Amino acid sequence: MGTTGQLSTVPEPKYWHLRTVLLRAIETEFTTGQILPNERELSARFGVARATLRQALDQLELEGRLVRRRGIGTLIAAPRVGVPVNRHEEGWPGTARSQAWRIVDCTTAPATPQLAKTLGVAEGVTVHTVRRVRMVQGQNMATESLHVPAAALPHLPGFRAESDRARSVLRQLERLEVDGESRSVELGVAEAAEAALLERPPGSPVLVMTTQYAAAGRLVAIAVSTYRADTCKLTFGETGLVEVTPVAASSEVRSAS
């Protein structure tokens, strides 16, 4: 019905058509880990400039279908890893498989205006910040900055070595009865610091998850987690249902009807 005639639409850009062609090739003729022909050969084979070919590869990389390694080549990416982000499974310190998180550093400093506003505390109030990295399948998948107002942890022992203080903060947080959490997810790019921890170049796409933790009706902590968008699929499972097979684009599912 409402189908806008394909007739009136301008010819598809070359790079988009290329992407589609390459995607089909990836799905039918290549397997995970395999190396594509190099960019100069591909661009010659398709009769386009290298920049145009790269535009197509950029798209496929954003979709998580390709991984490009300097000095090596362009590889078929493995399917994205489903990463659970439930508090009681993996998202909260000390619970279950918490060894997946590695503490990077820990600072205790007055809240910046921005952070104070986000935490709902007065500017300059002391805030503990624990930064850690999440490893999944041997890879750094995410970095997280956990911000906790010192006032929320009344029984924190005195000064210690940085790593000990980090552990103390996490332990104290565990003891609080966290009774609510609110999350948001949006697209971002990795700045220099995160990029280094994630072993990716600056500007790499990431999924930024912001989690607010509440205890006794008050906000006690905020975590800003940065997940690699190329290899991660965040999973919010209440109960373990069937595992999700990638359905690809919904339009593809539909178009098969």
Contacts 24+ apart (CB under 8 A), 58-62: 59/15, 59/16, 59/19, 60/19, 60/22, 60/23, 60/26, 61/230, 62/205, 62/230
Q: Which pair of structure tokens corresponds to residue 237?
A: 């499972």
- 3-state secondary structure (DSSP) of residue 58: helix
Mark 196-215 with x for binding to DNA (rule: CB under 7 A) and - for no binding.
Answer: -----x--------------
Angstrom distance (rounded) from CA 159 to CA 232: 37
Q: Does 235 bind its own copies (CB under 8 A)?
A: yes
Q: Which does 122 bind (CB under 5 to 8 A by kind): DNA, its own copies, none?
A: none
> CB 95: neighbour CB atoms within 10 A?
13
Mark 47-66 with x for binding to DNA (rule: CB under 7 A) and - for no binding.
Answer: xxxxxx-xx-----------
How many residues bind DNA (CB under 7 A)? The answer is: 26
Q: What is the phi/psi pair of residue 149, to 5°?
A: -60, 135
Q: Which does 234 bind (CB under 5 to 8 A by kind): its own copies, DNA, none?
A: its own copies
Angstrom distance (rounded) from CA 125 to CA 110: 5
Q: Does 29 bind its own copies (CB under 8 A)?
A: no
Q: Which does 95 bind (CB under 5 to 8 A by kind): DNA, its own copies, none?
A: none
Question: Of residues 143, 148, 149, 169, which one binds its own copies by CB under 8 A?
Answer: 143
Mark 4-33 with x for binding to DNA (rule: CB under 7 A) and - for no binding.
Answer: ------x--xxxx-----------------
Mark 97-136 with x for binding to its own copies (rule: CB under 8 A) and - for no binding.
Answer: --------x-x-xx-x-xx-xx-x--------x-x-----
